[in-house]
Structure 1
């Protein structure tokens, strides 16, 4: 629940700055933070990184 709140706050701040300063680069920041969060969570798994990625993508078969 806390991570959702953090992502919502980051998104709101970036949206505010994107509209205020008229720079669309601020709209990319929430996507980058979510991507970085997923990479960190995958890296925390005690298996090797590539094995973890293979396991995640083999779950849909």
Structure 2
């Protein structure tokens, strides 16, 4: 049973998260031949205050 974990910065629309889950599932199915019913995708959204780039939280970086 493939398990795929994806971490994203919080704030994307729900329909985009659903699209990522569907696309990743299809790609794993096509690449590995795993049945779609056995593929698990976990999407974790991280608040911008908890995601750091260059020593700073993303919430403090302009245009992020």
| Structure in which a larger fraction of residues adopt helix | 1
**Looking at both structures, which has the greater relative contact order when contacts are Cα pairs under 8 Å and sequence separation is at least 6?**
2
Greater Rg over alpha carbons, structure: 1
Instruction: Report the TM-score when normalising by structure 2.
Output: 0.38
Instruction: Report the TM-score when normalising by structure 1.
Output: 0.39
